[in-house]
Structure 1
């Protein structure tokens, strides 16, 4: 199906004045960022991985050729194209080829199972599937479930599909480049699937006009002064937040460096920072922590760094202080969800403090992004005053258009024009936002609300504790009680009772966890985040939540 997909937007369009139909809101196709970079800086490096590199001219030509190949298969404006791949040059080429057509890019987390890929394909109603050659089972599963696909092609070597994308590109490089399709502000360009921590993932519809604002806002609030002389290191999968960050680099023709290895390697990342004089990177707090605590942070020169941007979760204060001591004033925090494309708050380098002080505002995730507004609301949607905890709601041009073909989710996600994040927090008198946790993370013990993050912040000040996760579990007496899982620093030994004794004078007694477990590591999502769902699943798998009197963990 071509044309705009049938998704339910969350807000009503104002009635036209005088009975005149509203004019089309023509906007720039996001692929034009690449066209601009190729015109202004044709021979400068766009992508670099090991000894391989692509110039802006080459990247633009290759994506235009791939767009031509997709067009010949009948893929056009509004059609959804599922892409399953690790970070690679080929993966980037699919992004701009799809955008160029006015089609919709639907990237997956490459760690998902074949069955999960089938769900995403069916939920998005895809017309084509571009799959890395290393994942033949994913290709077979999707092709089997959707036999009418217009195209199944590989990224890289393999034995399935019509051809690999490089072959499709090479056969069309000599032709006239396909122009970027005309698009309107609300035309979809990217289905940004949520992580699915509660139920199935939902496709958040991102549009060309909305994303143009997001990219401008990122450059304004997160990386001011970014130019073609900057170099960005790709640390996270480009299928989600790192992909948004990558688009900002394209908008300024800044080179992006992809590590060669498939696995996270802190030593290799620091080597790349020194070798290529990297100026910015985007990642999540747990990855920043791993980078900072790796010995290579002291072995390689990272003085070129101007912005180390982290998002996905607030950074624990103790981790933040260590990062500032190691890296200096380069940390940038932003708070946002896929549905708001990261554009809710920002805490720039000037607002990060390595030493606790009254003006340090420890625990804040910053102030409202340019053009965005935050509202702290109670369960009825009423505005709460400064200092009171409620649901964090947001409005502004960065808010997505709605969930694809999911009116029930849209009705739940929006209220009175505000997008409901599902996160809990409060603002101080100056508008700085503090996140206390997810609504789903909060638990009630003996009638009292307990926010796990508050307990986690306290326990991470213990010199032996490297990581911690607290969550509520059912209890016949109190309704719910807290369970804490910790990872100790190398060389440290600690008993649960000793940790609770240390914690007792630092927090109200009713907030103390009832059980403490020590593990070698905490489970992480495909994007490096520690989620309560994964921890809860692991507790069940290990038998840690067995009834009292039975062995656990």
Structure 2
């Protein structure tokens, strides 16, 4: 018994825990190497890696990182397109007891440099296609101790594949970890748009893996197969970790470009049984002609999350794919574990039992409560903030006590989403406490964009709002007020902003008004901006242009 545990007070009627040790998530790969060594675990184009090979390469990469000084608790920042090295790097970091810190590869160099600083990264693994990102991270304060390149390129002190080859015979013991030891910094954002590192732990993620298998994909085995259609840095990475826990293979698209026809070819070729995606991508899969020309009968679970899905799109998906779609609601901080709407409850026809608009019921082992501003539970049907408690809730934000204080109340994690729960426990999201909007499954935070627009010398004020869009779910509209005597065009602002924010954050329209609507306190409520957009006929015009 450790000294810390020995000193811990026993709970009333129980005992202080004798241990907090849990399975290191890297053991998943070793388990698969033992049981399914000659079965494929990762497939990309014409190449495939069997579980025994993956285990060896993960150990080799862990050995290389250890030789360079990476150990328990050190953060390993990874900026990469989907590839085998990115997948292996996750388990290599886990194996050492280090922390995997993946980024969205669409971020700009200065954004990744900020993540390096915010995470305190000691190592940086960067795809060869991103030399500007490597340069930006190299001058960050503090900068990682070293940078290794993934794939071809001309930067970094070494290339990841070469380091794996050099350490091919090395076997690194899996580090002992406890429940609260960090394994993953999942970067999310608050209402200010400033990225925050949600700390995911080995114990928490062990529950998440079990919960996902229980609630999202019951009956999954090594005979299943999963197609990746999103970056492994976020939700897709969690999904593939879950799939790996069953020994099933992960199948990548040939490139980062989403090719619907190619996706269906891979579904037919590999008998894909499950996909994790967002409503925008699911809509593309359903509406593309390839859905009628390829065999997709192997699909059992098409899981969508990250944004609401229009009812008509749900019905179209059910008509084309059958009752295989699964919805869940969950933030990165809870790794998707808040609610689930399984295939059986996706009714293809409207009616009293269709439960239109719900995001499902509580996940196994999780408790959801709708609370008022004082943290009191509200009656069924009444709107409040969606709060959650349970083993899937993250440890907290790294080095951000202010955000932790705002996000937790009496042990409950406050999602910032508004909604209500019916008498049978089904949850309905009705709005967001913040001004964030979701476009194509990505969270967009207006303040970040507004701050960048305001650096343009001709702009005095700006308000960015999300408005409904049938393709992307929501799109951004930037309403600008020019400085006195200054002018700017929509094209000029778009070009100016393109070098400052990631493409998926770019507002779809820039409008120019004489003034922004303000409250009595001089603030600019986003609801007033939306009301003005409607009153001026801008939203109707945009609908007509589609």
TM-score class, shorter-chain normalisation, is: 0.7 to 0.9
CA–CA distance in structure 2, aligned partners of residues 99 and 191 of structure 1: 12
CA–CA distance in structure 2, aligned partners of residues 551 and 321 of structure 1: 30
Distance 1:89 1:55, change over 3 A: same
CA–CA distance in structure 1, aligned partners of residues 46 and 515 of structure 2: 53
The DSSP-based 3-state class of the residue aligned with 1:145 is coil
CA–CA distance in structure 1, aligned partners of residues 222 and 84 of structure 2: 19
Alpha-carbon offset, residue 538 of structure 1: 3.7
The aligned counterpart of 1:351 is 345
Alpha-carbon displacement from aligned partner over 1:275-294 (angstroms, at most 9, x marks no partner): 11100000011110111111
The DSSP-based 3-state class of the residue aligned with 2:139 is helix
Alpha-carbon displacement from aligned partner over 1:502-527 (angstroms, at most 9, x marks no partner): xxxxxxxxxxxxxxxxxxxxxxxxxx
Aligned match of 1:191 in 177, 180, 185?
185
Asked whether the equivalents of residues 75 and 150 of structure 1 are also in contact (C-alpha less than 8 Å), the reply is no
The DSSP-based 3-state class of the residue aligned with 1:202 is strand
CA–CA distance in structure 1, aligned partners of residues 471 and 328 of structure 2: 28
Asked whether the equivalents of residues 314 and 335 of structure 1 are also in contact (C-alpha less than 8 Å), the reply is no
Distance 1:266 1:546, change over 3 A: farther
The aligned counterpart of 2:131 is 136
The aligned counterpart of 2:144 is 149
CA–CA distance in structure 2, aligned partners of residues 168 and 286 of structure 1: 38
TM-score normalized by the length of structure 2: 0.80
The DSSP-based 3-state class of the residue aligned with 2:320 is helix
Determine if the alignment matches structure 1 residue 110 to structure 2 residue 109: no
Aligned match of 2:70 in 67, 75, 99?
75
> What are the residue-to-residue correspondences of 1:117-128 with 2, within 5 Å?
117-128=112-123
The DSSP-based 3-state class of the residue aligned with 1:194 is strand
Aligned length in residues: 465
Alpha-carbon offset, residue 199 of structure 1: 2.4
The aligned counterpart of 1:403 is 397
> What are the residue-to-residue correspondences of 1:179-218 with 2, within 5 Å?
179-195=173-189, 198-218=192-212
The aligned counterpart of 2:489 is none
Asked whether the equivalents of residues 120 and 144 of structure 2 are also in contact (C-alpha less than 8 Å), the reply is no
The aligned counterpart of 1:288 is 282
Asked whether the equivalents of residues 8 and 16 of structure 2 are also in contact (C-alpha less than 8 Å), the reply is no
Distance 1:165 1:544, change over 3 A: farther
Aligned match of 2:411 in 405, 410, 417?
417
Distance 1:395 1:355, change over 3 A: same
The aligned counterpart of 2:44 is 49
Distance 1:298 1:282, change over 3 A: same
Distance 1:483 1:248, change over 3 A: closer
Determine if the alignment matches structure 1 residue 312 to structure 2 residue 309: no
Distance 1:267 1:414, change over 3 A: same
CA–CA distance in structure 1, aligned partners of residues 257 and 265 of structure 2: 15
CA–CA distance in structure 2, aligned partners of residues 285 and 530 of structure 1: 19
Alpha-carbon offset, residue 437 of structure 1: 1.9
Asked whether the equivalents of residues 73 and 150 of structure 1 are also in contact (C-alpha less than 8 Å), the reply is no
Asked whether the equivalents of residues 388 and 427 of structure 1 are also in contact (C-alpha less than 8 Å), the reply is yes
Alpha-carbon displacement from aligned partner over 1:37-57 (angstroms, at most 9, x marks no partner): 111011111111110110001
Determine if the alignment matches structure 1 residue 297 to structure 2 residue 297: no
Aligned match of 1:99 in 94, 101, 109?
94
TM-score normalized by the length of structure 1: 0.79
The aligned counterpart of 2:59 is 64
The aligned counterpart of 2:479 is none
Deviates most, 233-242 or 543-552:
543-552
The DSSP-based 3-state class of the residue aligned with 2:167 is coil
Determine if the alignment matches structure 1 residue 249 to structure 2 residue 238: no
Alpha-carbon offset, residue 150 of structure 1: 2.9
The aligned counterpart of 1:30 is 25
CA–CA distance in structure 1, aligned partners of residues 404 and 397 of structure 2: 6
Asked whether the equivalents of residues 80 and 104 of structure 1 are also in contact (C-alpha less than 8 Å), the reply is yes
CA–CA distance in structure 2, aligned partners of residues 242 and 542 of structure 1: 35
Alpha-carbon offset, residue 205 of structure 1: 0.2
The aligned counterpart of 1:339 is 333
Alpha-carbon offset, residue 97 of structure 1: 0.6
The aligned counterpart of 1:383 is 377
Distance 1:21 1:352, change over 3 A: closer
Asked whether the equivalents of residues 278 and 305 of structure 2 are also in contact (C-alpha less than 8 Å), the reply is yes
The aligned counterpart of 1:434 is 428
Asked whether the equivalents of residues 121 and 143 of structure 2 are also in contact (C-alpha less than 8 Å), the reply is no
Alpha-carbon offset, residue 543 of structure 1: 3.8
CA–CA distance in structure 2, aligned partners of residues 340 and 120 of structure 1: 20
CA–CA distance in structure 1, aligned partners of residues 281 and 45 of structure 2: 22
Aligned-residue CA RMSD in angstroms? 3.0
Q: Which 5+ residue runs of structure 1 have no aligned equivalent?
A: 1-12, 443-451, 457-468, 472-479, 490-528
Determine if the alignment matches structure 1 residue 168 to structure 2 residue 163: yes
The aligned counterpart of 1:84 is 79
Q: Which 5+ residue runs of structure 2 have no aligned equivalent?
A: 1-6, 447-462, 473-501, 517-531
Alpha-carbon offset, residue 15 of structure 1: 3.8
The DSSP-based 3-state class of the residue aligned with 2:396 is coil
CA–CA distance in structure 2, aligned partners of residues 164 and 349 of structure 1: 44
